[in-house]
Structure 1
C-alpha cells in the first residue's frame, strides 16, 4: 500500500448553498429552499464520508475551505477536491505538477429531479465532469490510488550510478526477445534479437518531473539495475504471470544479464543463442 503522508481536503464551502441572489427563489421559495437544503446536506454528508474512509485507511488529512486557501500547496501527497468542477479548478491554481488532484463530486445531478422541476426552477446540481469519484465509488478509487507502487531505481554504470524515486504502476524489464511484445506496445523500442542488453520502462509514472529521462533506458551486460521496494508488499512477475516472487517493504532486487543462462533456439536455417535475464 502506498505510504501517503498527508492529503489536503479542499472543500467547497457550505455557504455556497444560499438563496441570496437567486431569481427563482422569489418565484418558488419553498421548492428552492428545499432543493438547496438537500444539496447542502448531500455535500456535508460527502465530506464526512470521505473523511471517515480516509480515517479507516489510516491516511492523514487536513481540511481547508476553498475560500480560505491563499498559499501554494506543498508537502502533501495529493489534493482531494470535494465539491464540483469549480472547486477542482480552484484547487489547480495552488498546486504544481508534483501534486496530483482527485476530484470528488459531492452533489451530482439527479435526472429525475431535473425532470420533475424543469418548469419551475433549475434543479441541476454539480456536473463533475473533471471529478473521477463520487460517493458511489470513492473508496474504490482511493484504494486504487493507495496501491500505486513506490520504489527507487538505480542503474549502476561504470561512469555513474544515478538513483530516482518512482511512484507508478510498476516497472517493466525485458530482454531483446521480449522487446517486441508488451515493451514495444507501451512505447519502448524493438531490440536486435542477439542483443544482450536489458530494456526497462517505468509504467505510468506519476509526476516524474526532472527524473523523466530516467523512466526508460537500457542496461548493458557490464551494468546492473537495483530496485528498492518501498511498499508493504508487491510481486515480481517473470515471463508474464507464469513465475512470480513476492517482495516486501525494504527488499532490494538486483537485475542483470551478465550471468544469465543462454537459450538456444532453432529458427529456419540457423541456430540462435538468446540471453535470458537472471533476477
Structure 2
C-alpha cells in the first residue's frame, strides 16, 4: 500500500477516553508530518479546533479514516468514508467489539504501520437501501450493518409485505424486519434470532423481529438479490440504518435492499480473528 500522508480521525463524541485517545493519535501523527482532519460534528465542544473540517469536505481531505471508539463509532466512520472508498481502521475505545482492529496499548505501533502502508484491505459488503416515500426517508442510503423497519408504537404488530427478486414472498406480521449484511449478522439480526455469518461471506440476511406467524426463520440471500419491503397497513413504521433513524414510513411506502456496487474497505493488520472474538464475546470454553 502507498504511504499515508492525510488521516481522518472520527472519535466518539461523548466518551472522554475516546477523545483522549484521539488526541494522542493526532499528536503522534502530526509529529511525523501527517496531516489530521476531524469532522466538526464528531468533536466534543471546544476540542480539536486545529483539525476540524466540515463533514461534507472530510472524505476529500483524507487518505485513510481512523475510528476511535466502539462498533457504533466504526459505523459512523464507515458512513463518512464510503463515498470516497477510503480505507478504514478502528481503534477500540469501548468494550470488546467486532469491528475495531487496534487496542489502545498497540496504538503507536499500529499508526506506524498505517502511515507506512503496511496493512491489508478486508472488503465488507454494504447494503444499498432505496426508500420510496413522500417523507424525509425518501432516497438511497447505505448501511454496513443493517437496515431495520420496526413498529413505531408499542403493543401493536405491523404488516410488511416482502418481495424477493420482484416476486411476492410473504407478509410478515411482526414487530419489524431486519435486513443485514454478514458484518451486521452479530448485531440486531442476531438478537432477533438470526444466524451469525463470517464477514468473509457475501450475503444478505432477512430476519423478522418477533413474528406472529408460523414462519419465523431468517433467510440468507445473495448480495445480487433484491428484497423489497412494503408497508401494508396504517400503523407507523420507522426505518433505521446502522443505528440512525432516517424517517417514518406509512402505508404504501417501500424499501428496496440489495448489495451495493462497492464495499467498505476495512484495514486489517492481521492482529484479530473474527471467530476468536466471537468465542470471547460468548465465553466459550477452550474444551
TM-score range, shorter-chain basis? 0.3 to 0.5
Normalized per residue, which structure has more strand? 2
Q: TM-score, normalised by structure 2?
A: 0.38
Structure with bigger gyration radius? 1
* Structure having greater relative contact order (Cα 8 Å, sep ≥ 6): 2
